[in-house]
Amino acid sequence: MARIAGLEIPRNKKVEIGLSYLYGVGRPLAHKILSETGVSEGIRMKDLTDADVSKLNTYISQNVKVEGDLRREVQQNIRRLIEVGSYRGLRHRRNLPTRGQRTKTNARTRRGRRKTVGSVRSDTSKTAAAPAAK
């Protein structure tokens, strides 16, 4: 496996797809990285030479913010919004959608499973409460 930016990338993937395994690198940025470094797009990760891997590593470390640094920056931005008390910060704090989506229905990913509100009766309570008729 090739190790790029501290992450093991699967050997059988094409280079463009393999680079998109990095947090913060999508297909367009992977395409740009390959064109800037001069690495061919059509080859697989296992066919890369050590020189190609080192070119990719140096370019990514110098020009692109990925993995831990990017995750840390995103978390700091969210923490700043919460501390300032902005509307988006309040939405983050309450674990609700931050970009204006509706929450009356949908929003299950952010809000979690549905919680039933109200009294829920079981069958045993109905039969125990009713007197035996003769």
Lowest mean pLDDT of 29-33, 34-38, 50-54, 103-107, name the range.
103-107
Does residue 126 surpass a pLDDT of 70? no
Taken in order of first residue, the domains within the chain and their CATH numbers are: 2-64 (1.10.8.50), 68-101 (4.10.910.10)
Specify the pTM.
Answer: 0.72
Does residue 109 surpass a pLDDT of 90? no
Does residue 76 surpass a pLDDT of 80? yes
pLDDT for the residue numbered 124 = 67
The DSSP code sequence of 6-21 is TEEE-TTSBHHHHHTT
User: What is the overall mean pLDDT for the chain?
Assistant: 88
When pLDDT is cut at 50, 70 and 90, the band that residue 38 belongs to is: very high
Stretch (H or E) spanning 4: strand 2-4
pLDDT for the residue numbered 119 = 78
CA angle 33, 36, 37 (to 5 degrees): 85
Contact residues for 32 (Cβ-Cβ < 8 A; gap 6+): none
Does residue 83 surpass a pLDDT of 90? yes
Contact residues for 1 (Cβ-Cβ < 8 A; gap 6+): 8, 9, 10, 11, 45
Tell me 3's DSSP state. E
Stretch (H or E) spanning 52: helix 50-63
**pLDDT, tens digit, 9 for 90 and up, residues 16-28:** 999 999 999 999 9
For the residues 6-13, what does the mean pLDDT come to? 89
Look up residue 67 and give its amino acid.
E
The DSSP code sequence of 111-125 is H-S----S----HHH
